[in-house]
Amino acid sequence: MAKKKKGKIKKRKLTLAEKLEKKRRKEMYETIFINGKQKRVRRSPPEIDYSQIDDPIFLTQNEMWEELHAWEQRRDGLLDQGCDQEGNGIPS
């Protein structure tokens, strides 16, 4: 009787369609742990880059006081130079 070889079983390669489906799933879902078990949930929308927002109302509503203070400093600096935000002179 011939001995059976014990070794690693080769995994089959994924087809192109399977690879694309796997990539789509990874982009749409993320894996998180709940009670020690893995769960796949939909990804949340991309985060907002708050450093690019230049709206005092938004900054106040989100309690971003440091950014609001920096915005006021920039605004006051422009007013001290005698021009508004568009670079036009302030009418007297």
Give me the mean pLDDT over the 22-26 stretch.
94
| pTM for this entry | 0.40
Phi, psi dihedral angles at 28 (to 5 degrees)? -85, -35
Closest of 85, 52, 46 to residue 67, by C-alpha: 52
Give me the mean pLDDT over the 27-41 stretch.
93
In this model, does residue 78 exceed pLDDT 60? yes
Q: Per-residue confidence at 89, pLDDT binned at 50, 70, 90? A: low
Helices (H), 1-92: 16-28, 56-61, 65-80
In this model, does residue 61 exceed pLDDT 80? yes
Domain map of the chain by residue range?
A: 52-78
* Helix (H) or strand (E) run with residue 39 in it: strand 37-42
Give me the mean pLDDT over the 18-25 stretch.
96
